[in-house]
Amino acid sequence: MMTGVTSRAVLVTGASRGIGRAVATVFAAGGDRVAIHHRDSAELAERLRAELPGQGHVVVRADLTDPDAVRAMVDEAAGLLGGLDVLVNNAGVYGERDAPHPVFGASYEQWRAQWRQVLETNLTGAGNVTWCAAQHMRERGGRIVNVSSRGAFRGEPEQPAYGASKAGLNALGQSLAVALAPYGITVATVAPGFVETDMTTGHLSGERGAAIRAQSPFDRVARPEEIAAAVHWLASPQAEWASGTIVDLNGASYLRS
């Protein structure tokens, strides 16, 4: 169980930049040991490892669309950290080169390629990471936090595969919150709106930037540190009763009933 644990072993996927970087930083600042996962950002991941406060942080690599690589990566992280107490499923993509794929704006080949890549990373990949991580948590309990999106609820007409993948991630999290509770493992989800990261720079700095900020009555988008703070709390020993929840983090830009 999580009670009384002072230094935990934490795996954060997609941790070399953006939200993942902020998440890794807040856990390390709290005294935890962090496995920084990346796909093809070794330099950024190593730089983050060197900058994190505390000791015992490691870097692991895997393409989340490769099930065998996922299993090897999770096992490596657990081996290097001496177990696994927390998993943050943060890694995600919009699609190849953020290519939009509306129904009447993409060829059938483009449509299928985007669905394949996005779902294999955002949903199937996260599901595989979760299965592998849960094997290490079964006897000791743990915390799993998924990073979803506002798009799971409001829809993503230009990026339907992305919206669908995040809706699936929400459902996965709630299903596993029930399935894993008897083992002392909680599963919760955060659903951010726009966040100021590398992934969204093109949108925020372009012509649509002002309109995107105006979606929130605060007239801004989120900072990665704000998302990381919520993730950190959901992974805390005090947050067991939040298992199964989906926390909206969008600055009142989209309100769901």
Active site residues: 162
Q: Which residues, at least 6 apart from 226, have a Cβ–Cβ distance to it below 8 Å?
A: 249
Specify whether the CB–CB gap between 152 and 191 falls below 8 A.
yes
The two tokens of residue 130 are 């979760």
Q: For residue 237, with 0-12 CB atoms within 10 Å meaning exposed, 13-18 middle and 19 or more buried, which class applies?
A: middle
CA distance 94 to 201: 13
158 and 115 in contact (C-beta within 8 Å)? no
